[in-house]
Amino acid sequence: MEDRSDVLIVGTGHGGTSAAIALRQNGFEGSIAMIGRETELPYERPPLSKEYLAGDKPFDRIAIRPAAFWPEKGIAIRSGVAVVGVDPQARSVRLSDDTEHGYGTLIWATGGDARRLSCPGSDLPGIHTIRNRADVDLLRAELDAGARRAVVVGGGYIGLEAAAVLRKFDRDVTLVEAQPRVLARVAGEELSAFYQAEHARQGVDLRLSASVEAIVERDGRVAGVTLSDGETIDADIVIAGIGIIPSVGPLIAAGAAGADGVDIDELCRTSIEDVYAIGDCAAHANVWADGAVLRVESVQNAHDMAMTVARAICGDPQPYRAFPWFWSNQYDLKLQTAGISAGYDATVLRGSPEDRKFSVIYLRGGKVIAFDCVNDTRSYVQGRKLIEAGSVVEPATLADPEVALKSLL
Ligand code: FAD
């Protein structure tokens, strides 16, 4: 591989690969290289806590593109090596194998590292995170070797999805969440209550407002978890689903502005010339959250920021305004979310949780800002249009299933 590229992309996940593909689609003819510290060719991350963990999809079915695609498109990939330093003056990066790679434009698309437990015993074998294929292969190996009792720490989407898969495998699952409800960071109380009831019905033992004080050790590996109230829960494995730490160390050390992640403007530019950042690691003012500065951890965000950067590099700059959407699969429940609910001041329930088909609608100042739809794709599709139109609708009207959402546009 050349040791200089016109566009150098750090990270071969959803953002990095989308950027490389979009550059070619936009007619970019210069050299493109991607550097990724994982050894695999690019693959989709969402199935890791869903179909791949469940064994329903083999690894080759979660590849982002067939192996031949990348050389065909003139996109060089260097795998199994990390970028450890950035020199903006020399326009080059330093790699973990002590080589350097120059760039004309740099795209930083490194996502984040799974946050690890920090209590006594938290480095024992048997404690898992779910961020990479290697994490899931290790977890699957321990399940196959007979691990029966699991404690999942964290009631966010990844923890809940993992709990659902483990119940499918008929494992004993205790889920520990520090907040009084699951999904507290991302959803309203109606959605939390529904998922709590559903997981309890499926046999998950939920411990809310509980935190992990220590990991119990036996024979050099995890044997249990001690909670803040002193109770110890026996466990063969522990899965920590407690968020990520954005992987931005080398970029911040090089002088890029940032605190939680790296700061970008509306064209995804960092404060360093010709260095863009996209995806999970990029803190931006989001127009769908009233301009609040945040990081969005979704495939949509990584993909659409990549489009923004590709257009900017190809001379057609357009500010990032892409509409946010997300999904989560647990048991037979398909959750689809549209918009960003952060900052809501009222919620409306449309449909009935007992029917396992309903939506939670979020309002701010009377305006519809987000939908969480459970097995309710029609509301998701039509709700998205209401949000995009900035609609103000009476809560009673939104709640009435006899009123078609599309009639409110
Ligand atoms: P990533 O896809 O994480 O890619 C970053 C890559 O950069 C990684 O391969 C990383 O190893 C590499 N890297 C990091 N630092 C360096 C370095 N210094 N040098 C070289 N390489 C480096 N989103 C949804 O929308 N729906 C879902 O259902 C969903 N489910 C998910 C389930 C799981 C288990 C996980 C982990 C995530 C899920 N997400 C989901 C989130 C989604 O996968 C992420 O938002 C998306 O992958 C972000 O893309 P990215 O390119 O920013 O980061």
**Residue 14 CA, ligand 1 centroid: distance in Å:** 6
CA dist., res. 205 & res. 128, Å (int): 19
- Residue 289 identity (one-letter amino acid): A
d(CA 388, CA 334): 22
Q: What's the CA dihedral at 273, 279, 283, 288 to 10 degrees?
A: 120
> What is the separation of C-alpha 83 from the centre of its chain, rounded to a whole number of angstroms?
21
Residue 97, Cβ density class (10 Å: 0-12 exposed, 13-18 middle, ≥19 buried): exposed
- How far is ligand 1, taken at its centre, from the CA of residue 112, in Å? 7
- Ligand 1 site-directed mutation target among 34, 78, 110, most atoms within 8 Å of CB: 110
Which of 8, 264, 268, 297 best tests ligand 1's pocket when mutated (most atoms within 8 Å of CB)? 297
Which residue's CA lies nearest to atom 45 of ligand 1? 298
What is the reported pLDDT for 314?
Answer: 98
Q: Which atom of ligand 1 is nearest to the CA of 132?
A: 36
CA of 38 to the centre of ligand 1 (A): 11
The predicted pLDDT at position 179 comes to: 98
> Is 304 near ligand 1, meaning CB less than 6 Å away?
no
Residue 186 CA, ligand 1 centroid: distance in Å:
18
Of residues 53, 283, 43, the one with CA closest to residue 168 = 53
Average confidence (pLDDT) per 10 residues, the chain, 409 residues: 92 98 98 98 98 97 98 98 98 98 98 97 97 98 98 98 98 98 96 98 98 97 97 98 98 97 98 98 98 97 98 98 98 98 97 96 97 98 98 97 94
> 218: buried, middle or exposed (CB in 10 Å: 19+, 13-18, 0-12)?
exposed
Q: What is the pLDDT of residue 1?
A: 66
Distance 93 CA to ligand 1 centre (A): 21
pLDDT at 41: 97
Q: Contacts for 92-96 with beta carbons within 8 Å, 24 or more apart? A: 92/4, 93/8, 93/10, 93/35, 93/250, 95/35, 96/37
For ligand 1, whether the C-beta of 17 sits within 6 Å is: no
- CB within 8 Å of 62: residues ≥ 6 apart: 43, 44, 47, 51, 52
User: What is the pLDDT at residue 172?
Assistant: 98
- 13 CA to middle of ligand 1, Å? 6
Q: pLDDT tens, 344-381?
A: 999 999 999 999 999 999 999 999 999 999 999 999 99
Cβ neighbours for 145, distance < 8 A, ≥ 6 positions apart: none
335 lines ligand 1 (CB under 6 A): no
The answer to whether residues 262 and 107 touch, using CB atoms and an 8 Å cutoff, is no
288 CA → ligand 1 middle, Å: 22
List helix spans (H) across 145-231: 157-168, 189-201
Residue nearest atom 27 of ligand 1, based on CA coordinates: 46
Whose CA is closest to 370, among 187, 172, 223, 211? 187
Tokens of 25: 């689609």
pLDDT in tens, 284-297: 999 999 999 999 99
- 58 backbone dihedrals φ, ψ, rounded to 5°: -75, 170
Atom of ligand 1 nearest to the CA of 279: 52
